[in-house]
Amino acid sequence: MKNLDFIARNALGDYGYGMERYEQFLGWAYWGWREVFMDQGHTSEVTPLSINEAMEADLPNDFVDWVSVYYESRNRKVTFVHDSNLAKRPSTVPEKETCALTLNQYSRSLANRYLDLYGPDVGRRFGGGTLMNSTGYFNVDYHRKTMQFNAVHFEKNPIMLEYISNNIEHSGNILVHEYAVDMVRQYIHWQRAKFSRTGSRSEAELAKRDYDDAKTLAVTRFNPVTVKGVIEAMTSSRSLSPRTF
């Protein structure tokens, strides 16, 4: 694993630049790494969510997308269901003060489960169907960086969030997988040629070609095609295909 500082300084060395262009190259290294991350390098993290009175939890800083939301009960995962139609909650819940129920009681109540699920969108209540499970639903509010639930009655078992992380450690460095280091370096060269005020269009296109080659090599290394893999794929496809008599 190499960090972005290493790659940016290597690219600077390729041109004989000093630290005066470091900031620019570091920025390009970040975008190059992002390309790797989106295709290959993403990691999933698991973190417990702390849910507040408004039945919502703040998303982690490195959150990109959710994988699953669950709680553990008797060594099995009970997953929550994602419902993008779930009514967005306000940041404060004034009715909570007047109904005098605890959060746990309110979550168990029929009022919450059937009537508060879709908020003012009354018509949605009749189309619930299979969505009416007893565990609960969640939705992600990207604007407020929160994850909202319609029911939380699992106080003893914390709700866990498994999510794709963008891997940025806020105190340190982004690490790039060894396979993708040259790809990021070539990305920097491409961007430099692309944004150069004196460079020609064809120079940028050649640099793009070099980057594509490096990317192909990186992807091949990440996902190598082996004889064993091909045979396994063929075998499984045969076994899954409908039998003909």
Which residue in 172, 228, 239, 245 binds other proteins (CB under 8 A)? 172
Confirm or reject binding of residue 170 to other proteins (CB under 8 A): yes
Residue entry with tokens 């008797």: 74
Which residue in 73, 92, 157, 173 binds other proteins (CB under 8 A)? 173
Which residue in 2, 10, 30, 52 binds other proteins (CB under 8 A)? 30
> How far from each other are the two terminal CA atoms of the chain, in whole angstroms?
53
CB 62, min distance to other proteins, A: 9
CB atoms under 10 Å from CB of 56, counted, come to 23
Residue entry with tokens 């290959």: 40
Confirm or reject binding of residue 159 to other proteins (CB under 8 A): no
Confirm or reject binding of residue 197 to other proteins (CB under 8 A): no
Which residue in 1, 19, 67, 230 binds other proteins (CB under 8 A)? 19
CB 14, min distance to other proteins, A: 11
Confirm or reject binding of residue 60 to other proteins (CB under 8 A): no
CA–CA dist 82, 65 (Å, integer): 12
Of 14-22, 136-144, 180-188, 199-207, which segment contacts other proteins by CB under 8 A?
A: 14-22
CA–CA dist 42, 27 (Å, integer): 19
CB 23, min distance to other proteins, A: 6
Confirm or reject binding of residue 38 to other proteins (CB under 8 A): no
Indicate the residue among 89 and 177 with the shorter CB distance to other proteins.
177
Which residue in 95, 169, 212, 213 binds other proteins (CB under 8 A)? 169
String marking each residue 97-116 x if it binds other proteins according to CB under 8 A: --------------------
Overall residue count recorded for the chain in this entry: 245
CB 5, min distance to other proteins, A: 5
CA–CA dist 40, 229 (Å, integer): 19
Distances (CA, A) of 182 to 40, 45, 214, 216, 222: 14, 26, 6, 11, 13
Which residue in 168, 230, 231, 233 binds other proteins (CB under 8 A)? 168
Confirm or reject binding of residue 17 to other proteins (CB under 8 A): yes
Q: Using CB under 8 A, list all residues that contact other proteins.
A: 4-5, 8, 15-23, 26-27, 29-30, 168-170, 172-174
